[in-house]
A = this chain, B = another copy of it.
Amino acid sequence: MAHLLTRRKALGTALGMAGLGCLAPRHAWATSPAEFLHQPGITLPQLPFLYFLTLDITTENRHDVAQLMQRWTDAAAALMAGKPIPGLVDSDETYGLPHQALTLTFGFGPTLFTKEGKDRFGLAAQRPAPLADLPRFTGDQLVPAHTGGDLCIQSCADNPQTAFHAIRILTRLADGIATPRWAQTGFLPDFGPHQTGRNLMGFKDGTMQPNIADPAVAKRVLWAADDDKAWMAGGTYLVARIIRIALEHWDRTKTSFQEETMGRQKRSGAPIGGHHEFDPLTLKQTDKYGNPITAEASHARLAAPEENGGAEFLRRAYSYDNGLSYIAERWPPWRQGNEFDTGLMFLAYQQDPRKAFTRIFERMAKFDMMNQYTTHIGSGLFACPGYRKGHYLGEDLLMTR
């Protein structure tokens, strides 16, 4: 369990927390300015398993939604502490399972505020500006059944059974108020202490992250701005994208072209022409012909804050594996058959998606060489508010007159 302890220790250190319990803490409430707490599951490091669920609200009564958030807040605290939920018979699949690290993070989608032009719950005036609908990006192939959602839950754990158990319990508690819309599981194995994990493209994923251990960086990049809606204090915005990767195609591509596409070397993770993973990107260097050594259309360049006016977000991506899916290509080479239905469950937290994800991805969607291999097939946008001790999550929103 050495890695897990390390991970917990790192978490405690990064957030300036003290007093970690023995088997706990399964959650990490970190304090923001004033009395608002940040939700767990946002600041790194990531636990290795994800169950991401969105839900549609089926009630027309705001009071029911408030009751759900009250129930969820209490249940989440119990689940993260490994305690039973009063009044609920547990399904017991995690009973006796040791070392259950778990974080639960909740968010509100745009459709909670306005759906088909209708102010469903009298909350339209409370919709924050950063929760503006994402634009359609070049190449988007979004499947409606895997897009949107009034509510979301990000459940992260050290094993898939614990991640799912929490979702199962929380879904039971939503009975009659909200119903599952779409789900995606994910994984990101532990590559060891201080090692960046690799996703299914075989490259390290997450080398470039804002240094949120620096409170000034976290305040600028991650947490809701001071002039955001009051109920979002201590909160952040989540962009979720299901990104299908054509692994068969990628695997037929030479490593040298993969590296050019990524703008990094595969095994070391170093920039093109660099030596170590954390060397600065070689954005200005040119070869003897005057061409940039890190291609203009490479993923790393297009993602770099330097190329995006300083814009950045905090990634919490997981690989996903949904087995096989059938494809039938009606043009040469007229292939048909099953391919791996795998990819990346991209999750990114930020102060304002308009200035971060959307700004960066609008160019990326047009130019990134990686788009030859990747397709965005699902999408979600969620406001993940902060939390006040003794109050339920979203209370300041849902109690608005």
Contact = CB atoms under 8 A, between A and B. Distances in A.
Contacts of A97: 189, 191, 198
Interface residues of A, number: 60
Contact of A323 (B185, B198, B324, B342): B185
Given A2-B1, A200-B93, A202-B95, A159 B182 contact: no
B160 A321 contact: yes
Nearest to A169: B251
Interface in A351-398: none
A141 interface: no
Contacts of A192: 96, 98
A266 interface: yes
Interface in A281-323: 319, 321-323
Chain A interface main SS type:
mixed
A81 to B, nearest CB: 19
A168 B200 CA distance: 10
A161 B188 CA distance: 8
Nearest to A91: B202
B183 A160 contact: no
Interface in A160-218: 160-162, 164, 168, 171-172, 179-185, 187, 189-192, 195, 198-203
A340 interface: yes
Contact of A93 (B145, B171, B201): B201
Nearest to A269: B96
A267 interface: yes
A168 B251 contact: yes
A74 to B, nearest CB: 19
A323 B50 CA distance: 12
Contacts of A145: 326
A16 interface: no
A125 interface: no
11 contacts: A89-B255, A91-B202, A93-B199, A94-B198, A159-B190, A161-B198, A161-B200, A164-B342, A180-B337, A180-B340, A184-B323
